């Protein structure tokens, strides 16, 4: 018996030392540091298995692959725009006044995300899969030169095969088709699935070229982008992926509520630049030189549109320490004078975002948030419930969407400023994944987003103190426990 306890003590000591070494060898947020110490020390051995999936960071060599000339290309444009900030003529574009009034936000994105102002955009919104895929397929069929696709989830299912078949057809016609997909989000979709596309002349690779899903064990540091560009003229960004569940065909989720926008105009250049960076970091053999005259003509064609929407395409991820999208969210919240309307499937804000929302609510700003009323990840859902209750106590109106699953990632501030993209209101999107959002200065889009938000509210239940009081002690425990894991979720 003495030997048993001695061995157990030795295991505990060794486990604790390894836990400390493992957690502190890489810089990370203090909350995440304590959370991982909690997991590794109090769940010996098994905690390290969990860490293998959730805690390991990307090597610097992979992150360096995501830098390139596409970022350098816009520096001169940004320098010229900075000199004009506050002086844009609103007679040329009525949204210029909004840009002039939002100089702090605009400069922040220019300085941290190399995001120029891209004007003259027409924007169309999609809140469900069928409408989105119908227009997407139309644009694919009309493509003449290029189709660039980057999705977190490109599923091997009915809609995935239909999408692949159309891409094969276009590749065989001579259209340059390139696909980047995330190996984890597209679990079950392998290179074999894309073989017909490759045989037809197209290209498809998992992000950062991890060939086998079994080797790519990280749950974190995923390519969470949902980007499409067609002929450099039309682009998509938002929350919708390629998969049956996003079409509303899943028995588990039923109706799938989301938001993706279709851009026609200069804003597509921002999406194109993001795709090129990710492509060049993924396929080292078939690089796209954004400075080549032929590529400029192909991927950045001159366009004439009647739209007035002005866009900054902002990406963030573990290749930067600035957390550009999170800081953009905070800046938007701080700028609000009347209203903030947020839709997010995961409401797990860190302390900085929580404080920004608190200040806004206590300053008389009407803050409303719509979240799902069903889980897709149990711990994440319980943590969302915990923060819903905390925000409700601060004066924020939190709604649970009842008509299926709410997957949109949007924010509308003062009926004029809009954010649409892939970033959720949680730690994972803020720090761990590669995300991309469009920040749009356009009252017309803001009005449309207000209408969409009103529809969401009509199909939701306002969370009240009574609802939370009626919850069982066990459910309350799960919410508080999940909250402790927030930095890991």
Q: Considering 120, 170, 225, 226, which one is annotated as catalytic?
A: 226
Q: Considering 120, 326, 331, 409, which one is annotated as catalytic?
A: 409
Annotation says 338 is catalytic: no
Task: Phi first, then psi: give them for residue 375, nearest 5 degrees.
Answer: -90, 145
Structure tokens at 25: 């060898």
Nearest of 296, 302, 304, 254 to residue 276 by alpha carbon: 296
Q: Considering 182, 231, 266, 373, which one is annotated as catalytic?
A: 231
Q: Considering 29, 101, 414, 415, which one is annotated as catalytic?
A: 414
Annotation says 91 is catalytic: no
* CA distance linking residue 216 with residue 71, whole number of Å: 27
Please, which residues have CB within 8 angstroms of residue 122's CB and are 6 or more apart in sequence?
Answer: 263, 264, 265, 305, 306, 307, 309
CA quadruple 352, 358, 363, 366: dihedral, nearest 10 = 110
Q: Considering 170, 225, 358, 407, which one is annotated as catalytic?
A: 407
SS (H, E, C) 428-483: HHHHHCEEEEEEEECHHHHHHHHHHHHHHHHCEEECCHHHHHCCCHHHHHHHHHHH
Annotation says 409 is catalytic: yes
Residue 24: strand, helix, or coil: helix
* CA distance linking residue 234 with residue 229, whole number of Å: 6
Q: Considering 170, 176, 216, 224, which one is annotated as catalytic?
A: 224
Annotation says 407 is catalytic: yes
Contact 35, 488 (CB under 8 A): yes
Neighbours of 199 (CB within 10 A): 11
CA atoms within 13 A on the CB side of 164: 24
Q: What's the Cα-to-Cα distance from 34 to each of 39, 125, 330, 458, 487, rounded to whole Å?
A: 9, 41, 24, 40, 9
Nearest of 409, 430, 431, 405 to residue 418 by alpha carbon: 409
- What residue has token string 């469900």? 128
* CA distance linking residue 176 with residue 64, whole number of Å: 26
Active-site residue numbers? 224, 226, 231, 407, 409, 414
């Amino acid at each position: 018996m003495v030997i048993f306890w001695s061995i157990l003590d030795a295991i505990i000591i060794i486990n604790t030392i390894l836990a400390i070494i493992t957690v502190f060898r890489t810089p990370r947020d203090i909350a995440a540091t304590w959370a991982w110490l909690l997991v590794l020390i109090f769940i010996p051995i098994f905690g390290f298995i969990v860490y293998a999936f959730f805690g390991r960071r990307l090597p610097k060599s992979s992150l360096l692959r995501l830098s390139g000339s596409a970022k350098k290309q816009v520096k001169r444009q940004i320098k010229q725009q900075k000199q004009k900030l506050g002086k844009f003529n609103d007679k040329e574009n009525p949204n210029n006044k909004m840009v002039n009034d939002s100089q702090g936000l605009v400069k922040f994105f220019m300085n941290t995300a190399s995001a120029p102002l891209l004007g003259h955009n027409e924007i169309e919104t999609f809140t469900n899969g069928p409408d989105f895929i119908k227009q997407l397929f139309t644009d694919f069929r009309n493509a003449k030169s290029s189709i660039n696709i980057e999705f977190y989830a490109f599923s091997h299912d009915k809609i995935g095969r239909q999408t692949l078949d159309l891409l094969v057809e276009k590749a065989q016609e001579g259209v340059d088709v390139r696909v980047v997909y995330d190996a984890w989000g597209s679990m079950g979709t392998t290179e074999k699935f894309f073989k017909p596309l490759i045989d037809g002349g197209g290209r498809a690779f998992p992000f950062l070229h991890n060939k086998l899903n079994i080797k790519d064990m990280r749950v974190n540091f995923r390519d969470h982008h949902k980007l499409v560009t067609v002929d450099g003229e039309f682009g998509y960004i938002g929350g919708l992926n390629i998969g049956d569940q996003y079409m509303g065909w899943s028995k588990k989720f039923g109706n799938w509520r989301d938001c993706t926008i279709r851009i026609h105009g200069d804003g597509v250049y921002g999406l194109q630049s993001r795709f090129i960076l990710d492509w060049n970091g993924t396929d080292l053999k078939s690089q796209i030189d954004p400075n080549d005259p032929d590529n400029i003509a192909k991927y950045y064609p001159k366009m004439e549109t009647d739209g007035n929407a002005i866009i900054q395409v902002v990406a963030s991820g573990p290749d930067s320490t600035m957390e550009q999208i999170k800081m953009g969210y905070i800046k938007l919240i701080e700028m609000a004078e009347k209203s903030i309307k947020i839709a997010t499937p995961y409401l797990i804000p860190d302390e900085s975002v929580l404080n920004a929302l608190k200040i806004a609510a206590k300053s008389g700003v009407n803050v409303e948030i719509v979240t799902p009323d069903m889980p897709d990840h149990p711990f994440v859902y319980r943590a969302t419930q915990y923060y819903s209750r905390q925000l409700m106590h601060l004066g924020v109106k939190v709604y649970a969407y009842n008509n299926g699953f709410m997957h949109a990632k949007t924010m509308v501030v003062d009926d004029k400023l809009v954010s649409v993209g892939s970033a959720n209101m949680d730690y994972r999107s803020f720090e761990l994944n590669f995300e991309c959002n469009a920040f749009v200065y356009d009252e017309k889009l803001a009005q449309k987003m207000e209408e969409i938000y009103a529809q969401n509210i009509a199909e939701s239940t306002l969370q009240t103190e009574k609802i939370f009081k009626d919850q069982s002690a066990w459910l309350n425990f799960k919410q508080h426990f999940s909250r402790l894991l927030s930095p890991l979720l």
